[in-house]
Amino acid sequence: MIIGEGLPFIHDYVESLNEALKAHSPQDELTRIQRYWLSFVILGLLVTNTLCWARFERFSGGSYATAAICWMFKKAKVAWDMLLLASVTKIIERYNLKSGMLVIDDTDSERSKNTTRIAKVHKIRDKKRSGFFSGQNIIFLLLVTDSLTIPVGFSFYEPDPGLSAWKKEDERLRKKGVAKRFRPARPARNPNYPTKVALGLELLRSFVTLFPHFRIKATLADTFYGSPEFFTGAVEITKQRQVISQIKKTQLINVNGKFIPAMKFFENYSGKTVETRLRQTNKKITYCSGKFKVKSHHKKLHVIALKYDNESEYRYLIANDTTWFDSDVIKAYAFRWLVEVFIQDWKSHEGWDQLAMQRGMDGAERGIIISLLTDHALHFHDDQLDLYKNKEPGATVGSLREKVMMESLMAFIETIVTSDDPKAMFDAYSTKISELFELKSSIKHMRGIDMEKFAPAS
């Protein structure tokens, strides 16, 4: 038995996953070896926080070779496109989820400037520092319920290179003072490079199609998705009216027949300050609202100017369904923040940002699928299930991962002490581990350099 092999909750999760695959399509069933491999990879990712096969080999004490683990990832006939669906299906069943909100957001992952093999890498404006970096942009669809929050879909975004080249040239000519009629016309978008809004709507459509009986209470997204295209599409797809997002302070709203910036209208009102409960925490907020025709949307929307206790400027929420109370719109939109929590957990504890093995499009998508399955698997942990049954808040990903690491170590120790010859097994593992963890030369310690030669010239 290798380190941590067969932790019960991972075994149960993978078996449950396989049941869902068989129910959907018998030919998608995982073989015994594939189930064994997937269990090992999920455990390896939780313990090492990477998708690095070499680290998995060391974690296994040499029981698995890097080449063998990698071969299964690249070549095994696994229904990769069905794994996340099967996992979501089982979590919905186990936690008896009936309704919730869908949240869309995207995140950037910085990659090497010289990479040529990682899929969908492009130049991204650095939001924290000036300039740009090479990276990937991933759009997530998150399901938020009164019991738990889980990722249910993702998609890679890549800008249209033709449009990017046109924008760069158009900006150069504008700076030189070239009139618009003499500048190249904007080219049509290449359908192979859909917009973020289009990808977000496709994620919504996929979830609604696969889970037609799940009741969606609202669709939430940040300012980037506060466009008429997104609002109209989300309403048509989900068959419910409430879509909540934000608009910029410069967006025009119709006040008494005249369009003025939202900021200019609301700055004349001090707003109502109340203490309310947002995401299970009491918060002091100030807000004022109205129902206005938003020029960019060509329709009347519920507009709310909102700021938290520690903020000096309003943010401007817009809601498609104008029949909701102000407080309900504010409380619902507060759940959008949970996607930020998920992304932080995903990057910090679920392997994606740490040496992700993702050459090519297949590698990139499979890498994310495994990391999201790892997130789902933690909901099968006995402690997490007990918290749910007792109607208590779920445990954090970080604390669960720490417990899994300890359980893995204890399982390894138990394997040795319960063996027929504990001393011999311990010696065998010690030898394997010593061979796997080789010391490497450091350029910091420059042995053999004669520093006595460095002296003033005589």
- Model confidence pLDDT, tens digit, residues 156-189: 999 999 999 999 999 999 999 999 999 999 999 9
Helix crossing, 8-24 with 32-48: angle to 10°? 130
Give first-to-last CA distance, the chain, whole Å: 68
Q: What is the mean pLDDT of residues 32-55?
A: 90
Of the listed ranges 57-71, 351-365, 373-387, the one predicted with least confidence = 351-365
Strand, coil or helix: 94: helix
> Is 156 a member of any domain?
no
The model's pTM: 0.88
Confidence bin at 420 (pLDDT 50/70/90): confident
> Is 285 a member of any domain?
yes
> Is 385 a member of any domain?
no
- Model confidence pLDDT, tens digit, residues 109-143: 887 777 777 888 888 888 777 788 888 899 999 99
More confident residue, 60 or 223: 223
* Burial tier of 168 (Cβ tally within 10 Å: 0-12, 13-18, 19+): exposed
Q: Which amino acid is at 416?
A: I
> Is 309 a member of any domain?
yes
Residues 6+ apart with CB under 8 A from 61: 2, 3, 429, 432, 433, 436
For the chain, what percent of residues have pLDDT higher than 90? 64
Cβ pair 121, 115 in contact under 8 A: yes
More confident residue, 322 or 441: 322
> Is 436 a member of any domain?
no
**Which helix (H) or strand (E) element contains residue 279?**
none
- Model confidence pLDDT, tens digit, residues 442-457: 666 766 677 777 778 7
Report the candidate in 105, 136, 133 with the shortest Cα–Cα distance to residue 368: 136
Residue 103 CA to residue 335 CA, distance in Å, equals 8
pLDDT at 458: 64
pLDDT at 352: 74
Residue 145 CA to residue 377 CA, distance in Å, equals 17
pLDDT at 94: 93
Confidence bin at 206 (pLDDT 50/70/90): very high
Of the listed ranges 55-69, 91-105, 331-345, 379-393, the one predicted with least confidence = 55-69
> Is 255 a member of any domain?
yes
For the chain, what percent of residues have pLDDT higher than 70? 94
Look up tokens 């934000």; give the residue.
Answer: 246
Q: What is the mean pLDDT of residues 326-348?
A: 93
> Is 270 a member of any domain?
yes
Cβ pair 30, 18 in contact under 8 A: yes
Q: Does residue 358 surpass a pLDDT of 70?
A: no
pLDDT at 176: 92
pLDDT at 22: 94
pLDDT at 52: 85
More confident residue, 421 or 246: 246
**Which helix (H) or strand (E) element contains residue 278?**
strand 272-278
Domain limits for position 248: 241-333
Confidence bin at 371 (pLDDT 50/70/90): very high
- Model confidence pLDDT, tens digit, residues 291-306: 999 999 999 999 999 9
Q: How many domains is the chain partitioned into structurally? A: 1
pLDDT at 385: 93
Report the candidate in 115, 118, 189, 104 with the shortest Cα–Cα distance to residue 155: 104
Q: Does residue 317 surpass a pLDDT of 90?
A: yes
pLDDT at 1: 40
pLDDT at 103: 97
Confidence bin at 195 (pLDDT 50/70/90): very high
pLDDT at 32: 93
Residue 392 CA to residue 280 CA, distance in Å, equals 12
pLDDT at 3: 45
Of the listed ranges 58-62, 70-74, 199-203, the one predicted with least confidence = 58-62
Confidence bin at 278 (pLDDT 50/70/90): confident
> Is 351 a member of any domain?
no
pLDDT at 436: 58
